Amino acid sequence: MSMRTGELSEDRVHRVVVGVALLLCGSAGLARADERLHLAWTAPADCPDREQVMREVDALLGDSPTTHPESVDVSVEVARAADDAWRVRIETPARGGRRELVGKSCRALVDAVDVILALMIEPELEPRKQPEPEPAIVVPPPEPPAALPPPSPPSSVAIAAGLVLEGDVGALPRAALGVGARGALLLGRTRVEASIVGFLPTRARVDGRSTAGADIRLEVGTLGVCHLWPLGPVELGPCLTLELGRMHGKGFGVDSPGDGAAFWAAARAGADLGVPFGQHVALHLRAEAVAPLVELGFVLDNVGPVHQPSSVGLRTQLAGEYRF
């Protein structure tokens, strides 16, 4: 038996080349997931891995032709959520897209992700096998927290103590200077104060007799309340004060000068200006009108009246205090 080798005709060679070219062109036009999808996959060990997902996407694409040649970069993260639920986050950085799905099982979420990835590769796809994913809940982005009202300033309670330098016009025969001490209970902006002040004696003379008269002095204790509001770096507000004490007189220039004392009571009303220096030190300036609540006067026997306080006087005060 003999074999004959025939020559391949030019027509048959042409048909073979054309067939191979058509086969290659057809294969190049298929939407293959591994060529079109750059997938970053993160999931727990009991979920499908990246390779399985790529195979499932290939199965969905089948032999669908490629109509959108651009590649897709996508990141998928699957994780457990609260209450035995699962959550998947899908991000496409180049497209600025982000989706979140929640489901009852990892498998149900991965089935939904397979379809989404296949549609990213070929939006006009009509998959041969498109699973019906479990209904998922789309999680909206968290809303920014509502602005809270500013907290109300806490009420402060403190104690202050300091020295007082006080001036009087009207209660004594002449303008007089007094020194003393003061303490205060600070309840927020309200001050409850108590003080003790002694005034230096001033001299009063009997009318028409320059050599006869009396030296008058005054010692008082006060209880008052002020309410100060902040006004820039200082504090300003009204004050009301009750003043109780003793006025004492000692005569001179007569044969039997003698001395005497009388009860003193007055009401004061005015304003206080506080200037804080740091957290503990403050300086207070105060001006108040003084109205006596009792009538009194000093008289030298067989000579005549020496002094009677004015119906309205003025009291000024400079006080430095330390706040504890």
In contact, 264 and 220? CB cutoff 8 Å: yes
> In the predicted model, is pLDDT for residue 240 greater than 90?
yes
Distance CA 11, CA 29 (A): 27
Mean pLDDT, the chain, rounded, equals 82
Question: How do residues 169-189 score in pLDDT, each as one tens digit?
Answer: 999 999 999 999 999 999 999
Burial of 316 (0-12, 13-18, 19+ CB in 10 A): middle
In contact, 116 and 88? CB cutoff 8 Å: no
| DSSP bridge pairs for 79 | 87
Helices (H), the chain: 10-28, 33-36, 50-61, 106-121
Instruction: Give whole-number Cα distances, 310 to 12, 214, 289, 290, in Å.
Output: 140, 17, 11, 9
HEC secondary structure over 283-303: EEEEEEEEEECCCCCEEECCC
Burial of 7 (0-12, 13-18, 19+ CB in 10 A): exposed
Among residues 286, 287, 290, 284, which one has the least CA distance to residue 319?
284
CA 204 to chain centroid: 62
* Total residue length of the chain: 324
Q: Which amino acid is at 92?
A: T
- What is the CB neighbour count within 10 angstroms for residue 167? 15
Average of per-residue pLDDT across 88-107 = 85
More confident residue, 238 or 37: 238
Question: How do residues 275-297 score in pLDDT, each as one tens digit?
Answer: 999 989 999 999 999 999 999 88
| DSSP bridge pairs for 245 | 220, 264
- Helix (H/G/I), strand (E/B), else coil: 189: coil
Q: Which amino acid is at 47?
A: C
Distance CA 272, CA 237 (A): 6
Burial of 44 (0-12, 13-18, 19+ CB in 10 A): exposed
Listed in order, strand segments (DSSP E) in the chain are 37-42, 72-80, 86-92, 97-103, 137-138, 157-169, 176-187, 190-206, 209-227, 229-231, 234-252, 259-277, 281-292, 298-300, 304-307, 313-323
User: Among 10-19, 59-68, 89-98, whose mean pLDDT is lowest?
Assistant: 10-19
Structure tokens given for 157 = 């309670």
Q: Looking at residue 110, what is its pLDDT?
A: 87
Instruction: Give whole-number Cα distances, 127 to 50, 189, 219, in Å.
Output: 20, 76, 105
Average of per-residue pLDDT across 40-53 = 89
What is the H or E stretch that residue 104 is in? none
Structure tokens given for 117 = 């990835």
Q: Looking at residue 72, what is its pLDDT?
A: 81
Distance CA 44, CA 150 (A): 44
Among residues 302, 306, 272, 317, which one has the least CA distance to residue 174?
306
Pairing of strands 72-80, 37-42: parallel
More confident residue, 69 or 82: 82
